Chains A and B, each alone.
Chain A
Amino acid sequence: TQLLEQSPQFLSIQEGENLTVYCNSSSVFSSLQWYRQEPGEGPVLLVTVVTGGEVKKLKRLTFQFGDARKDSSLHITAAQPGDTGLYLCAGRVGAQKLVFGQGTRLTINP
């Protein structure tokens, strides 16, 4: 059973389109992170959100933490081929444990 459910699991869209990826749970997290992973590499941190309702922007990427700290979303505006990759959300449980969702595999077609 996955503690964090990401949707969609796969997404293929055209360059220039907008998209949103969701990360949902029934658990409350002290913080939530989004990572991006490219083939042959380990995940790399994009952002950490801590406060319920928090919104963070990273260029064309907008991250939001749900008010109840149980869910998060990642919105990409005007997607580019360079955005292609596996996007992973990760929630911190307790003092140390960081659990990941199963990931959203995003493909941006030129």
Chain B
Amino acid sequence: DSGVTQTPKHLITATGQRVTLRCSPRSGDLSVYWYQQSLDQGLQFLIQYYNGEERAKGNILERFSAQQFPDLHSELNLSSLELGDSALYFCASAKGTSGGAGTGELFFGEGSRLTVL
């Protein structure tokens, strides 16, 4: 058990719909990362937050958005869903630093499997 909780574990929805994925980081971790994992793309970095502020952005589509709340949990919102958005979405947390390079370990949740029909 990594200490990172993701909900829901599985989600099936239709094209054009909107879903919200939720992540609770490990106690004490300030950084939250979101990744998308599909069979042919590997683990793609989407976005990272530190203590409520966006810190780094990857290949996140404009239809996707995220935020980290004062209690440090994070949500990833996916809208106007397309078939190609079907994937495993992972949240990871780390102690993080305000700006230093860091070598810290990322602790991953078990992922949310999204299926768009």
A32 to B95 alpha-carbon distance, docked (Å): 17
Which residues of B, 44-101, contact A by the 8 Å Cβ criterion? 44-45, 48, 50, 55-56, 58, 90, 92, 96-97, 99-101
B102 at the interface (CB under 8 A from A): yes
Contact of B103 among A44, A50, A97, A99 (CB under 8 A): A50
Evaluate contact between A98 and B108: CB separation under 8 angstroms: no
How many A-B contacts at CB < 8 Å in the complex?
74
B21 at the interface (CB under 8 A from A): no
Which residues of B, 95-117, contact A by the 8 Å Cβ criterion? 96-97, 99-103, 105-106, 108-111
Evaluate contact between B42 and A96: CB separation under 8 angstroms: no
Contact of A92 among B41, B44, B102 (CB under 8 A): B102
Q: In angstroms, how far is the closest chain A Cβ from the Cβ of B32?
A: 11
Evaluate contact between B43 and A95: CB separation under 8 angstroms: no
Evaluate contact between B56 and A94: CB separation under 8 angstroms: yes
Q: In angstroms, how far is the closest chain B Cβ from the Cβ of A39?
A: 11
Q: Mark A58-101, 1 if CB is under 8 A from B, else 0.
A: 00000000000000000000000000000010101011111111
B2 at the interface (CB under 8 A from A): yes
Q: Which residues of B contact A43 (CB under 8 A)?
A: 43, 90, 106, 108
Which residues of B, 4-61, contact A by the 8 Å Cβ criterion? 4, 31, 33, 35, 41-45, 48, 50, 55-56, 58
Q: Which residues of B contact A42 (CB under 8 A)?
A: 2, 4, 90, 92, 108-111
Using a CB–CB cutoff of 8 Å, the interface residues on chain B facing chain A are 2, 4, 31, 33, 35, 41-45, 48, 50, 55-56, 58, 90, 92, 96-97, 99-103, 105-106, 108-111
